[in-house]
Amino acid sequence: MKQPPFVSIYIWLIDNIEKLGITTFSASQDVPKQMPVCRVQVISSDATNAFSNGRQYTYTFQIDVVDAQNKLQRSLTNAYKIMQLCREVSVEGYAVGHDEPSLTSAVDSSTNQILNRQIIRINYNAIETTAF
């Protein structure tokens, strides 16, 4: 049985972000101590029966690039590299399209240390290739 496309997108993003040397974690895991790190999560998903023989899926992903207080340049550079990766996602069995990734910078003081956060959001559309 074929896995849903959001799982494949999620795994693709994690594998390729880690190839950049950035540790990834999910929303339910503690933030790793070694910076930089990256949290990848699916914010929303929707499926439609837009085609008679296939489904269309829409997913919003959020990727938080987290780095130390004095590492803004590294944080922005890593966010840029990850935004490039977001544009390259491919999933076997699906035609995958996407919006342009958006980037928001923030200072996170919710922990005992101040952190730089670069928040990337991107919407993916995946259509089963059998629909064509």
pLDDT in tens, 2-60: 678 889 999 999 999 999 999 999 878 877 788 999 999 999 878 776 666 677 889 99
Mean pLDDT along residues 96-124? 90
Domain 5-131, second-level architecture = 2-Layer Sandwich (3.30)
Give, as one character, the DSSP assignment of residue 11: H
Band (pLDDT 50/70/90 cuts) for residue 130 is low
Q: Is pLDDT larger for residue 112 or for residue 91?
A: 91
Number of Cβ within a 10 Å radius of residue 21: 8
Residues 98-123, buried b or exposed e (16+ Cβ, 10 A)?
beebebeeeeeeeeeeebbbbbbebb
Q: If residue 51 lies in a helix (H) or strand (E), which one and from where to where?
A: strand 37-51
Distance (Å, whole) CA 85 – CA 21: 13
Predicted local distance difference test score (pLDDT) of residue 131: 43
β-pairing, 54-68 vs 23-25, is unpaired
CA distances from 55 to 47, 87, 93 (A): 7, 22, 12
Q: Which residues pair with 47 in a beta bridge?
A: 57
Share of the chain above pLDDT 90, in %: 55
Predicted local distance difference test score (pLDDT) of residue 83: 97
Predicted local distance difference test score (pLDDT) of residue 4: 81
Q: Is pLDDT larger for residue 79 or for residue 115?
A: 79
Give, as one character, the DSSP assignment of residue 17: H
